[in-house]
Amino acid sequence: MGSSTISLGLGLGGGKSATSSGTAGGGGTPFTNQYSVSFDGTDDYITIPHNSVFNITGSITISAWFKLDSNTKYMSFLTKRASGAIAFQFYNTLTGGGFDGNLRFAPGDGSAYAGSSQIPTGSWNHGAIVVDNNSYTFYLNGSADGTGSLTLNTTNSADLTIGRLGDTANYGDGKVDEVAIFNSALSSSDITAIYNSGAPADISSLSPVGWWRMGDNDGGTGTTITDQGSGGNNGTLTNGPTFSTTVPS
């Protein structure tokens, strides 16, 4: 898969089975994180219908937790495949082809940008990108991880996918948790609060337009991932991804 591909992704890796809780970014009540979603790398993914709330042409922040196994290629968090597609993803260092095992982002014009650090496999990580006034900053585990300039284009009407690169046959293998999109440029302190020393926290005070908790509001059963953001775009488990009690903590 070339560097011009478009997808949004969260980390993978081997975490422990646990119940995680933390306080909200910006202050709030404790909450419990019990579930993530696991992808087999063969054909399963989450699909989220397009909604005009995602036609974000100004500032945007994308946040996700991911756990990538050491023998897998990459994880795609949120992807839009159409004219002006957008992608956020993580590549394993073992894949070759110029991919260095870092966060990557495609803004929708055929270009791609990468974070500075190699991301460890086999453990949970938090990745984020903030785009504001045509400049971007990557964040890895609460700290800035590279900046630069880009032009954002998210006005296409393609559906979002998690765990699959849009409508391609490229599927991620690993676990994803707490994926969120904001139509604002969060501050570095906001990102630090979301990271919360490695334990996901309540982010409702930061007003996400999309927030998929990967089972925690659905009892870890069924095929629906309820959107806890303001957009009301529920996700659907497609081709059999499963709920897991292995979560960042």
Q: What is the pLDDT of residues 52-83, one digit of tens each?
A: 777 777 788 999 999 886 555 667 777 766 55
Q: How open is the CA angle 206-33-36, to the nearest 5 degrees?
A: 105
Q: By C-alpha distance, which of 121, 164, 112, 117 is closest to 140?
A: 117
According to DSSP, the β-strands at 60-68 and 20-22 are unpaired
Q: By C-alpha distance, which of 203, 200, 65, 180 is closest to 130?
A: 180
Q: By C-alpha distance, which of 51, 71, 66 is closest to 11?
A: 66
Q: What is the pLDDT of residues 170-188, one digit of tens each?
A: 888 889 999 999 999 999 9
Separation CA 89–CA 11 (nearest Å): 8
The reported pLDDT for the residue numbered 12 is 24
Burial label for 151, CB within 10 Å (0-12, 13-18, 19+), is: exposed
Query: Do 111 and 4 form a contact (C-beta atoms < 8 A)?
Result: yes
Burial 212-242 (b: 16+ CB within 10 A, else e): bbbbbebebeeeebbbbbebebebebbeebe
Asked if the model's pLDDT at residue 117 lies above 50, the reply is: yes
Query: Do 74 and 2 form a contact (C-beta atoms < 8 A)?
Result: no
Tell me what percent of the residues of the chain surpass a pLDDT of 70. 77
Tell me what percent of the residues of the chain surpass a pLDDT of 90. 46
List of domains in the chain: 20-25+43-244 (2.60.120.200)
The reported pLDDT for the residue numbered 228 is 94
Q: How far apart are the first and last CA of the chain?
A: 31
Query: Do 125 and 77 form a contact (C-beta atoms < 8 A)?
Result: no
Q: What is the pLDDT of residues 13-37, one digit of tens each?
A: 222 223 344 444 444 445 799 999 9
